[in-house]
Amino acid sequence: MILAMGIFYGGIAQVIAGIMEWRKGNTFASTAFISYGFFWLTLVALLVIPKIGWWDKTDGNANTMGAFLFMWGLFPLIIFIGTFKLNHALQFVFGSLFVLFFLLSYGEFSAKESVATIAGYEGIICGLSAIYTGLAQVLNEVYGKVILPLGIMKKD
């Protein structure tokens, strides 16, 4: 189930959403959606391709996945800086995503189950905040007024 969602909803759907945002001139959303869409597709490929025999599995060293997650942790940090001109809800989403990637990376490097558990809970918080933010953006646009607050930043 998770792999299928990684391919179709996490991967392909986000790439399509990113292309749609690019056509609207929304560089921030386009960059985020397309990048995370391809993150999910890459992650699924890293997990599945060795199992189907297209290439050999790595030596089992957690440092490879830890490095992958660490490098992906840098991306939400940079995107988080971009949210300073947007709204508080997006700041929380990308700030918590930054923390999540570094917890996941540290969990891989340290092989500590407690870190993976903390990362899991933090991931749930991050995911719920992303659901809230997306829902708020949709409802606020549909109704033409604030139904769910996003904490809009003042423009300079």
Q: What is the pLDDT along the chain (156 residues), one digit of tens a residue?
A: 888 888 998 899 999 999 999 999 999 999 999 999 999 999 998 888 877 777 766 665 558 889 999 999 999 999 999 999 999 999 999 999 999 999 999 999 999 999 999 999 999 999 999 999 999 999 999 999 999 999 976 565
Cβ atoms of residues 28 and 82 within 8 Å: yes
Cβ atoms of residues 14 and 34 within 8 Å: yes
Q: 100 Cβ partners below 8 Å, 6+ apart?
A: 119, 122, 123, 126
Of 58, 75, 60, 63, residue with least CA distance to 106: 63
Record the pTM.
Answer: 0.86
Domain boundaries, the chain: 1-57, 59-148
